[in-house]
Protein backbone atom coordinates (compact mmCIF):
# COMPACT_ATOMS: atom_id res chain seq x y z
CA UNK A 1 0.00 0.00 0.00
CA UNK A 2 1.23 3.48 -0.84
CA UNK A 3 0.30 6.15 1.70
CA UNK A 4 1.55 8.74 -0.79
CA UNK A 5 -1.08 7.61 -3.29
CA UNK A 6 -3.86 7.98 -0.72
CA UNK A 7 -2.63 11.45 0.27
CA UNK A 8 -2.45 12.48 -3.38
CA UNK A 9 -6.02 11.28 -3.87
CA UNK A 10 -7.14 13.36 -0.90
CA UNK A 11 -5.49 16.44 -2.39
CA UNK A 12 -7.09 15.90 -5.80
CA UNK A 13 -10.53 15.24 -4.33
CA UNK A 14 -10.60 18.23 -1.95
CA UNK A 15 -13.06 20.30 -4.07
CA UNK A 16 -15.50 17.39 -4.22
CA UNK A 17 -15.00 16.66 -0.51
CA UNK A 18 -15.79 20.28 0.28
CA UNK A 19 -18.99 20.12 -1.75
CA UNK A 20 -20.07 17.02 0.15
CA UNK A 21 -19.50 18.82 3.44
CA UNK A 22 -21.46 21.85 2.26
CA UNK A 23 -24.30 19.55 1.28
CA UNK A 24 -24.39 18.07 4.79
CA UNK A 25 -24.18 21.53 6.37
CA UNK A 26 -27.34 22.62 4.55
CA UNK A 27 -29.40 20.20 6.63
CA UNK A 28 -30.92 21.98 9.66
CA UNK A 29 -30.25 19.17 12.13
CA UNK A 30 -30.88 21.12 15.37
CA UNK A 31 -31.46 18.35 17.88
CA UNK A 32 -32.79 20.33 20.82
CA UNK A 33 -35.77 21.85 18.94
CA UNK A 34 -38.63 19.43 18.07
CA UNK A 35 -39.43 21.58 15.04
CA UNK A 36 -36.30 20.16 13.37
CA UNK A 37 -36.99 16.48 14.04
CA UNK A 38 -37.41 15.69 10.32
CA UNK A 39 -34.15 17.52 9.56
CA UNK A 40 -32.29 15.27 12.01
CA UNK A 41 -33.79 12.27 10.24
CA UNK A 42 -32.61 13.74 6.94
CA UNK A 43 -29.05 14.18 8.24
CA UNK A 44 -28.98 10.57 9.44
CA UNK A 45 -30.26 9.40 6.05
CA UNK A 46 -27.60 11.49 4.30
CA UNK A 47 -24.84 9.79 6.27
CA UNK A 48 -26.27 6.32 5.73
CA UNK A 49 -26.45 6.94 1.98
CA UNK A 50 -22.89 8.28 1.90
CA UNK A 51 -21.55 5.31 3.84
CA UNK A 52 -23.44 2.87 1.63
CA UNK A 53 -21.97 4.53 -1.44
CA UNK A 54 -18.56 3.48 -0.09
CA UNK A 55 -19.69 -0.11 0.35
CA UNK A 56 -20.25 0.17 4.10
CA UNK A 57 -22.99 -1.93 5.68
CA UNK A 58 -24.71 1.10 7.23
CA UNK A 59 -28.11 1.54 8.88
CA UNK A 60 -30.17 4.18 10.60
CA UNK A 61 -31.12 2.85 14.02
CA UNK A 62 -34.15 4.25 15.89
CA UNK A 63 -33.97 5.56 19.45
CA UNK A 64 -36.56 7.34 21.64
CA UNK A 65 -35.00 10.54 20.27
CA UNK A 66 -33.02 11.10 17.09
CA UNK A 67 -31.59 8.09 15.28
CA UNK A 68 -28.12 6.63 15.49
CA UNK A 69 -26.12 5.78 12.38
CA UNK A 70 -24.11 2.56 12.61
CA UNK A 71 -21.96 1.04 9.90
CA UNK A 72 -19.37 -1.71 9.56
CA UNK A 73 -16.65 -2.28 7.01
CA UNK A 74 -13.31 -3.95 6.57
CA UNK A 75 -11.89 -7.42 7.08
CA UNK A 76 -11.71 -9.37 10.32
CA UNK A 77 -7.93 -9.43 10.68
CA UNK A 78 -5.29 -9.23 13.34
CA UNK A 79 -5.15 -5.47 12.82
CA UNK A 80 -6.81 -3.11 15.30
CA UNK A 81 -10.56 -2.67 15.13
CA UNK A 82 -11.24 1.06 15.00
CA UNK A 83 -14.54 2.82 15.79
CA UNK A 84 -15.14 6.35 14.53
CA UNK A 85 -17.57 8.50 16.55
CA UNK A 86 -19.09 11.82 15.61
CA UNK A 87 -22.40 13.68 15.85
CA UNK A 88 -24.52 15.08 13.05
CA UNK A 89 -26.71 17.37 15.16
CA UNK A 90 -25.94 21.06 15.63
CA UNK A 91 -26.66 23.89 18.03
CA UNK A 92 -29.51 26.39 17.50
CA UNK A 93 -28.49 29.45 15.49
CA UNK A 94 -29.86 32.21 17.73
CA UNK A 95 -29.30 35.14 17.67
CA UNK A 96 -29.85 35.00 13.94
CA UNK A 97 -29.26 38.74 13.44
CA UNK A 98 -25.59 38.33 14.38
CA UNK A 99 -24.89 35.98 11.47
CA UNK A 100 -23.32 37.50 8.36
CA UNK A 101 -25.10 34.92 6.19
CA UNK A 102 -27.83 32.28 6.46
CA UNK A 103 -26.31 29.69 8.84
CA UNK A 104 -27.72 26.87 6.70
CA UNK A 105 -26.52 28.35 3.43
CA UNK A 106 -22.85 27.44 3.96
CA UNK A 107 -20.06 28.80 1.80
CA UNK A 108 -16.31 28.82 1.36
CA UNK A 109 -14.98 32.27 2.23
CA UNK A 110 -11.59 33.93 1.95
CA UNK A 111 -10.65 35.84 5.10
CA UNK A 112 -7.58 37.70 6.35
CA UNK A 113 -6.52 34.53 8.19
CA UNK A 114 -7.14 32.17 5.29
CA UNK A 115 -9.93 30.23 3.61
CA UNK A 116 -12.77 29.00 5.83
CA UNK A 117 -15.96 26.98 5.52
CA UNK A 118 -18.74 29.07 7.08
CA UNK A 119 -21.99 27.64 8.43
CA UNK A 120 -23.64 26.07 11.47
CA UNK A 121 -21.97 22.75 12.23
CA UNK A 122 -18.89 23.47 10.12
CA UNK A 123 -16.57 22.81 13.08
CA UNK A 124 -18.97 21.19 15.56
CA UNK A 125 -19.15 18.51 14.39
CA UNK A 126 -19.98 17.93 10.74
CA UNK A 127 -16.68 19.19 9.35
CA UNK A 128 -14.72 17.15 11.87
CA UNK A 129 -16.86 14.05 11.24
CA UNK A 130 -16.29 14.33 7.51
CA UNK A 131 -12.50 14.44 7.88
CA UNK A 132 -12.36 10.73 8.63
CA UNK A 133 -15.17 9.94 6.17
CA UNK A 134 -13.11 11.54 3.41
CA UNK A 135 -9.89 9.85 4.54
CA UNK A 136 -11.57 6.46 4.25
CA UNK A 137 -13.15 7.40 0.94
CA UNK A 138 -9.72 8.12 -0.52
CA UNK A 139 -8.28 4.96 0.99
CA UNK A 140 -11.05 2.80 -0.47
CA UNK A 141 -10.76 4.41 -3.91
CA UNK A 142 -6.99 3.94 -4.05
CA UNK A 143 -6.69 0.54 -2.41
CA UNK A 144 -10.07 -0.97 -3.18
CA UNK A 145 -10.29 -2.17 0.42
CA UNK A 146 -10.23 -0.93 3.99
CA UNK A 147 -7.12 -0.56 6.17
CA UNK A 148 -8.64 -2.54 9.05
CA UNK A 149 -11.96 -3.41 10.63
CA UNK A 150 -13.93 -0.18 10.99
CA UNK A 151 -17.16 0.67 12.81
CA UNK A 152 -18.92 4.00 12.22
CA UNK A 153 -21.05 5.35 15.06
CA UNK A 154 -22.78 8.73 14.65
CA UNK A 155 -25.39 10.19 16.98
CA UNK A 156 -27.92 13.01 16.61
CA UNK A 157 -28.37 14.21 20.20
CA UNK A 158 -24.92 15.33 21.37
CA UNK A 159 -25.95 18.98 21.46
CA UNK A 160 -29.01 18.15 23.56
CA UNK A 161 -27.38 16.00 26.24
CA UNK A 162 -27.25 12.61 24.44
CA UNK A 163 -30.25 11.12 26.31
CA UNK A 164 -30.39 8.06 24.02
CA UNK A 165 -26.66 7.40 23.88
CA UNK A 166 -25.94 5.33 27.00
CA UNK A 167 -28.99 3.04 26.64
CA UNK A 168 -28.12 2.45 22.97
CA UNK A 169 -24.49 1.67 23.80
CA UNK A 170 -25.53 -0.71 26.56
CA UNK A 171 -28.03 -2.53 24.33
CA UNK A 172 -25.55 -2.81 21.44
CA UNK A 173 -22.27 -3.17 23.33
CA UNK A 174 -21.15 -6.34 21.57
CA UNK A 175 -21.67 -4.79 18.16
CA UNK A 176 -19.95 -1.49 19.00
CA UNK A 177 -16.99 -2.78 21.00
CA UNK A 178 -13.61 -2.06 19.33
CA UNK A 179 -9.94 -1.62 20.19
CA UNK A 180 -9.97 2.17 19.79
CA UNK A 181 -12.72 4.76 19.57
CA UNK A 182 -11.62 7.75 17.51
CA UNK A 183 -13.47 10.88 18.65
CA UNK A 184 -13.05 13.87 16.35
CA UNK A 185 -14.77 16.56 18.43
CA UNK A 186 -11.78 18.44 19.86
CA UNK A 187 -9.22 20.95 18.63
CA UNK A 188 -5.57 21.84 18.32
CA UNK A 189 -3.60 23.55 21.06
CA UNK A 190 -3.63 27.30 20.47
CA UNK A 191 -4.83 26.58 16.92
CA UNK A 192 -1.39 25.44 15.77
CA UNK A 193 -0.26 22.29 17.60
CA UNK A 194 -1.89 18.96 16.62
CA UNK A 195 -2.96 17.18 19.77
CA UNK A 196 -4.37 14.07 21.36
CA UNK A 197 -6.59 14.89 24.32
CA UNK A 198 -5.90 12.48 27.17
CA UNK A 199 -7.64 14.28 30.04
CA UNK A 200 -11.26 15.43 30.15
CA UNK A 201 -12.86 16.96 33.18
CA UNK A 202 -16.08 15.59 34.62
CA UNK A 203 -19.02 17.82 35.51
CA UNK A 204 -21.42 18.18 38.42
CA UNK A 205 -24.28 20.67 38.20
CA UNK A 206 -26.28 21.85 41.23
CA UNK A 207 -29.11 24.35 41.64
CA UNK A 208 -30.17 25.53 45.07
CA UNK A 209 -32.98 27.75 46.28
CA UNK A 210 -32.92 29.15 49.80
CA UNK A 211 -36.28 30.15 51.28
CA UNK A 212 -36.71 32.26 54.41
CA UNK A 213 -39.95 34.30 54.84
CA UNK A 214 -43.10 32.90 53.27
CA UNK A 215 -43.42 35.95 51.01
CA UNK A 216 -41.50 39.04 49.92
CA UNK A 217 -41.34 41.64 52.68
CA UNK A 218 -41.22 45.43 52.97
CA UNK A 219 -37.65 46.28 53.99
CA UNK A 220 -38.78 49.23 56.07
CA UNK A 221 -41.02 47.07 58.21
CA UNK A 222 -38.98 43.85 58.29
CA UNK A 223 -35.41 44.96 57.53
CA UNK A 224 -32.99 43.99 60.27
CA UNK A 225 -35.33 41.72 62.18
CA UNK A 226 -35.92 39.18 59.40
CA UNK A 227 -33.33 37.01 57.67
CA UNK A 228 -32.59 37.83 54.05
CA UNK A 229 -31.99 34.70 51.90
CA UNK A 230 -29.77 36.64 49.50
CA UNK A 231 -27.42 37.44 52.37
CA UNK A 232 -27.41 33.78 53.40
CA UNK A 233 -26.72 32.62 49.85
CA UNK A 234 -23.95 35.20 49.42
CA UNK A 235 -22.21 33.98 52.57
CA UNK A 236 -22.39 30.37 51.36
CA UNK A 237 -20.98 31.23 47.94
CA UNK A 238 -18.18 33.31 49.46
CA UNK A 239 -17.21 30.34 51.63
CA UNK A 240 -16.70 27.96 48.68
CA UNK A 241 -13.10 29.16 48.11
CA UNK A 242 -10.35 30.21 50.46
CA UNK A 243 -8.00 33.15 49.89
CA UNK A 244 -5.67 31.03 47.72
CA UNK A 245 -8.41 29.83 45.36
CA UNK A 246 -8.65 26.38 46.94
CA UNK A 247 -12.17 24.88 47.09
CA UNK A 248 -13.40 24.30 50.63
CA UNK A 249 -16.11 21.65 50.18
CA UNK A 250 -15.11 18.86 52.63
CA UNK A 251 -13.47 15.92 50.85
CA UNK A 252 -13.53 17.76 47.53
CA UNK A 253 -9.93 16.90 46.63
CA UNK A 254 -10.30 13.19 47.32
CA UNK A 255 -9.20 11.42 44.14
CA UNK A 256 -7.40 14.45 42.62
CA UNK A 257 -4.02 13.20 41.33
CA UNK A 258 -0.81 15.12 40.96
CA UNK A 259 0.29 15.66 37.38
CA UNK A 260 3.12 13.29 36.34
CA UNK A 261 6.43 15.10 35.97
CA UNK A 262 6.84 14.01 32.35
CA UNK A 263 3.45 15.42 31.35
CA UNK A 264 4.00 18.59 33.37
CA UNK A 265 7.28 19.15 31.49
CA UNK A 266 5.56 18.60 28.15
CA UNK A 267 2.87 21.12 29.03
CA UNK A 268 5.50 23.63 30.10
CA UNK A 269 7.17 23.10 26.73
CA UNK A 270 4.00 24.29 24.99
CA UNK A 271 4.85 27.82 26.20
CA UNK A 272 1.23 28.70 26.92
CA UNK A 273 0.79 32.48 26.98
CA UNK A 274 -1.79 32.91 29.71
CA UNK A 275 -1.54 36.70 29.55
CA UNK A 276 -2.65 36.65 25.93
CA UNK A 277 -5.30 34.00 26.65
CA UNK A 278 -6.83 36.11 29.42
CA UNK A 279 -6.18 39.39 27.63
CA UNK A 280 -8.49 38.40 24.78
CA UNK A 281 -11.42 38.51 27.22
CA UNK A 282 -10.31 41.60 29.13
CA UNK A 283 -8.61 39.81 32.03
CA UNK A 284 -5.01 39.61 33.19
CA UNK A 285 -4.51 37.52 36.33
CA UNK A 286 -5.10 33.73 36.80
CA UNK A 287 -7.70 33.42 39.55
CA UNK A 288 -7.55 29.69 40.33
CA UNK A 289 -5.40 27.83 42.83
CA UNK A 290 -2.38 30.06 43.23
CA UNK A 291 0.15 27.23 43.55
CA UNK A 292 -0.70 25.85 40.08
CA UNK A 293 0.38 26.79 36.58
CA UNK A 294 -2.23 28.25 34.21
CA UNK A 295 -2.42 25.07 32.09
CA UNK A 296 -2.85 22.97 35.21
CA UNK A 297 -5.75 25.23 36.22
CA UNK A 298 -7.45 24.66 32.86
CA UNK A 299 -6.71 20.98 32.23
CA UNK A 300 -5.87 19.03 35.36
CA UNK A 301 -7.36 20.83 38.36
CA UNK A 302 -10.98 20.80 39.54
CA UNK A 303 -13.10 23.94 39.74
CA UNK A 304 -16.16 25.38 41.43
CA UNK A 305 -18.04 28.18 39.67
CA UNK A 306 -21.26 30.11 40.16
CA UNK A 307 -23.01 30.07 36.79
CA UNK A 308 -26.10 32.01 37.77
CA UNK A 309 -27.55 33.82 40.78
CA UNK A 310 -30.87 35.53 41.31
CA UNK A 311 -33.33 36.76 43.92
CA UNK A 312 -35.39 39.82 44.79
CA UNK A 313 -36.45 42.63 42.47
CA UNK A 314 -34.54 42.82 39.18
CA UNK A 315 -36.70 45.14 37.09
CA UNK A 316 -36.14 48.77 36.21
CA UNK A 317 -36.08 51.28 38.99
CA UNK A 318 -35.85 50.32 42.64
CA UNK A 319 -38.01 48.25 44.98
CA UNK A 320 -37.21 48.03 48.69
CA UNK A 321 -38.10 44.40 49.09
CA UNK A 322 -36.69 41.56 51.18
CA UNK A 323 -37.10 38.50 48.96
CA UNK A 324 -38.60 35.26 50.07
CA UNK A 325 -36.11 33.24 48.03
CA UNK A 326 -32.61 33.38 46.57
CA UNK A 327 -31.22 30.90 44.04
CA UNK A 328 -27.95 29.96 42.38
CA UNK A 329 -26.61 27.48 39.85
CA UNK A 330 -23.19 26.08 40.69
CA UNK A 331 -21.00 23.76 38.63
CA UNK A 332 -17.98 21.69 39.56
CA UNK A 333 -15.47 20.54 36.93
CA UNK A 334 -13.92 17.32 38.13
CA UNK A 335 -10.64 15.51 37.48
CA UNK A 336 -8.97 12.20 38.21
CA UNK A 337 -11.04 9.85 40.37
CA UNK A 338 -13.27 12.46 41.98
CA UNK A 339 -16.70 11.01 42.71
CA UNK A 340 -19.41 13.48 41.62
CA UNK A 341 -22.08 11.84 43.79
CA UNK A 342 -19.90 12.02 46.89
CA UNK A 343 -19.13 15.67 46.14
CA UNK A 344 -22.83 16.41 45.69
CA UNK A 345 -23.57 14.90 49.10
CA UNK A 346 -20.72 16.81 50.76
CA UNK A 347 -21.63 20.11 49.09
CA UNK A 348 -25.26 19.83 50.09
CA UNK A 349 -24.35 19.01 53.67
CA UNK A 350 -21.97 21.99 53.78
CA UNK A 351 -24.76 24.31 52.62
CA UNK A 352 -27.35 22.85 54.99
CA UNK A 353 -24.95 23.14 57.93
CA UNK A 354 -24.48 26.84 57.12
CA UNK A 355 -28.20 27.67 57.07
CA UNK A 356 -29.34 29.87 59.95
CA UNK A 357 -32.67 29.38 61.69
CA UNK A 358 -35.82 30.07 59.64
CA UNK A 359 -34.07 29.09 56.36
CA UNK A 360 -34.56 26.00 54.23
CA UNK A 361 -32.98 24.85 50.97
CA UNK A 362 -34.40 23.01 47.97
CA UNK A 363 -32.16 21.25 45.45
CA UNK A 364 -32.26 20.46 41.77
CA UNK A 365 -29.47 18.43 40.17
CA UNK A 366 -28.22 19.08 36.63
CA UNK A 367 -26.22 15.96 35.88
CA UNK A 368 -23.09 14.29 37.20
CA UNK A 369 -20.28 12.72 35.21
CA UNK A 370 -16.79 11.59 36.14
CA UNK A 371 -13.57 12.79 34.57
CA UNK A 372 -11.94 10.74 31.84
CA UNK A 373 -8.21 10.00 31.78
CA UNK A 374 -6.77 7.93 28.93
CA UNK A 375 -3.49 6.06 29.48
CA UNK A 376 -1.07 6.58 26.61
CA UNK A 377 1.19 3.57 27.14
CA UNK A 378 -0.35 1.65 24.22
CA UNK A 379 2.02 1.97 21.21
CA UNK A 380 -0.94 3.15 19.11
CA UNK A 381 -0.80 6.53 20.85
CA UNK A 382 2.85 7.10 19.99
CA UNK A 383 2.11 6.04 16.40
CA UNK A 384 -0.80 8.48 16.15
CA UNK A 385 1.28 11.27 17.69
CA UNK A 386 4.02 10.71 15.09
CA UNK A 387 1.45 10.64 12.27
CA UNK A 388 0.12 14.02 13.37
CA UNK A 389 3.63 15.43 13.62
CA UNK A 390 4.47 14.19 10.12
CA UNK A 391 1.39 15.84 8.64
CA UNK A 392 1.49 19.20 10.40
CA UNK A 393 5.28 19.49 10.68
CA UNK A 394 4.79 20.65 14.27
CA UNK A 395 5.55 18.35 17.23
CA UNK A 396 2.22 16.90 18.32
CA UNK A 397 1.36 16.81 22.02
CA UNK A 398 -0.76 15.06 24.61
CA UNK A 399 -3.00 17.71 26.15
CA UNK A 400 -5.87 18.11 28.57
CA UNK A 401 -9.25 19.66 27.93
CA UNK A 402 -11.00 21.98 30.34
CA UNK A 403 -14.40 20.90 29.09
CA UNK A 404 -16.32 17.67 29.49
CA UNK A 405 -16.95 15.11 26.74
CA UNK A 406 -18.84 12.30 28.51
CA UNK A 407 -18.74 10.04 25.44
CA UNK A 408 -15.06 9.30 26.10
CA UNK A 409 -15.87 7.84 29.50
CA UNK A 410 -18.80 5.88 28.06
CA UNK A 411 -16.52 4.14 25.58
CA UNK A 412 -14.19 3.12 28.40
CA UNK A 413 -16.80 2.02 30.91
CA UNK A 414 -19.56 0.58 28.72
CA UNK A 415 -17.59 -0.81 25.77
CA UNK A 416 -14.16 -1.37 27.33
CA UNK A 417 -12.82 0.53 24.33
CA UNK A 418 -9.90 2.96 24.54
CA UNK A 419 -10.88 6.47 23.41
CA UNK A 420 -8.49 8.51 21.29
CA UNK A 421 -9.58 12.14 20.97
CA UNK A 422 -8.10 13.88 17.94
CA UNK A 423 -9.62 16.99 16.41
CA UNK A 424 -8.58 19.87 14.22
CA UNK A 425 -10.75 22.72 15.48
CA UNK A 426 -9.24 26.11 16.16
CA UNK A 427 -9.84 28.54 19.00
CA UNK A 428 -11.62 31.06 16.77
CA UNK A 429 -14.05 28.60 15.13
CA UNK A 430 -16.95 30.19 17.07
CA UNK A 431 -18.67 26.90 17.78
CA UNK A 432 -22.13 27.38 19.35
CA UNK A 433 -21.93 31.05 18.27
CA UNK A 434 -22.94 33.07 15.22
CA UNK A 435 -20.68 32.81 12.14
CA UNK A 436 -19.27 29.38 13.03
CA UNK A 437 -16.48 28.32 10.68
CA UNK A 438 -13.96 25.56 10.03
CA UNK A 439 -10.63 26.40 8.45
CA UNK A 440 -10.03 24.80 5.07
CA UNK A 441 -6.59 23.91 6.40
CA UNK A 442 -8.19 22.00 9.27
CA UNK A 443 -10.50 20.15 6.89
CA UNK A 444 -7.81 19.31 4.33
CA UNK A 445 -5.00 18.41 6.72
CA UNK A 446 -7.47 16.72 9.05
CA UNK A 447 -8.38 14.29 6.25
CA UNK A 448 -4.70 13.70 5.53
CA UNK A 449 -4.02 13.21 9.26
CA UNK A 450 -6.57 10.44 9.55
CA UNK A 451 -5.08 8.69 6.52
CA UNK A 452 -1.67 8.79 8.18
CA UNK A 453 -3.06 7.57 11.51
CA UNK A 454 -4.87 4.66 9.86
CA UNK A 455 -1.69 3.76 8.02
CA UNK A 456 0.29 3.86 11.27
CA UNK A 457 -2.22 1.72 13.17
CA UNK A 458 -2.76 -0.86 10.42
SS3 letters for 274-316?
HHHHHHCCCCCCCCCCCCCCHHHHHHCCCEEEEEEEEECCCCC
CATH dotted code for 203-256+302-369: 3.30.70.360
What is the per-residue pLDDT across 318-374, written as a single tens digit (0 to 9) for each?
999 999 999 999 999 999 999 999 999 999 999 999 999 999 999 999 989 889 889
pLDDT for residue 254 = 98
State yes or no: pLDDT of 1 exceeds 70. Answer: no
> What residue spans define the domains of the chain?
3-200+371-457, 203-256+302-369
- Tell me the average pLDDT across 155-181: 96
Using 50, 70 and 90 to split pLDDT, how confident is the model at 78? confident
The pLDDT tens digits for 286-309 are 999 999 999 999 999 999 999 999
Q: 105 with 22: CB under 8 angstroms?
A: no
Per DSSP bridges, beta strands 418-421 and 180-183 are parallel
* Mean pLDDT in residue range 43-64: 97
Confidence (pLDDT) at 75: 86
Indicate if the alpha-carbon torsion angle 312, 313, 314, 319 is positive or negative.
Answer: negative
Provide mean pLDDT across the span 266-270: 89
- Whole-number CA gyration radius for the chain: 24
Instruction: Please name the residues in contact with 394: beta carbons below 8 A apart, sequence gap of 6 or more.
Output: 192, 193, 194
Is residue 195's pLDDT more than 80?
A: yes
pLDDT tens digits along 81-95 = 999 999 999 999 999
Exposed / middle / buried, residue 314 (Cβ in 10 Å: 0-12, 13-18, 19+)? exposed
Q: Which of 144, 228, 244 is nearest to 236 (CA)?
A: 228
Mean pLDDT for 249-263 is: 94
Give the pLDDT of residue 394.
Answer: 94
Compute the distance between CA of residue 303 and CA of residue 397 in angstroms, rounded to an integer.
Answer: 24
Average confidence (pLDDT) over 244-252: 97
Mean pLDDT, rounded, of the chain? 95
Question: Among residues of the chain, what percentage have pLDDT more than 70?
Answer: 100
What is the structure's pLDDT at 262? 87
CB distance 453 to 387 below 8 Å: yes
Residue 260 has pLDDT above 70, yes or no: yes
Q: What's the number of CA atoms in the CB half-sphere (13 Å) around residue 329?
A: 6
Confidence of residue 395 (pLDDT cuts 50, 70, 90): very high
Contact 196, 456 (CB under 8 A): no
Give the pTM: 0.85
Q: Taking a C-beta distance cutoff of 8 angstroms, is the pair 192, 183 a contact?
A: no
3-200+371-457 has CATH 3.40.630.10 classification:
yes
Q: What is the pLDDT of residue 401?
A: 87
Q: Which of 98-102, 373-377, 383-387 has the lowest mean pLDDT?
A: 373-377
Amino acid sequence: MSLDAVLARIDDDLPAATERLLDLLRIKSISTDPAFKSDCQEAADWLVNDLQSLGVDAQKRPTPGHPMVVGHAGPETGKPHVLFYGHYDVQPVDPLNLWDRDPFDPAVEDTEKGTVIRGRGAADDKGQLMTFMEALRAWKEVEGDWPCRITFFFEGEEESGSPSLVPFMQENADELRADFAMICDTGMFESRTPSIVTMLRGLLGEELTITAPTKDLHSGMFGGISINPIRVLSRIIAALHDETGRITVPGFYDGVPELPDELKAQWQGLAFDHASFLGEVGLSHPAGEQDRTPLEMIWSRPTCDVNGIWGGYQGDGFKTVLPSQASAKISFRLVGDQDPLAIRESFRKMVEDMLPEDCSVAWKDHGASRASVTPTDDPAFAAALKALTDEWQVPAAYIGCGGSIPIAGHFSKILDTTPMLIGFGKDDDQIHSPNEKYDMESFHKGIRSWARILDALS
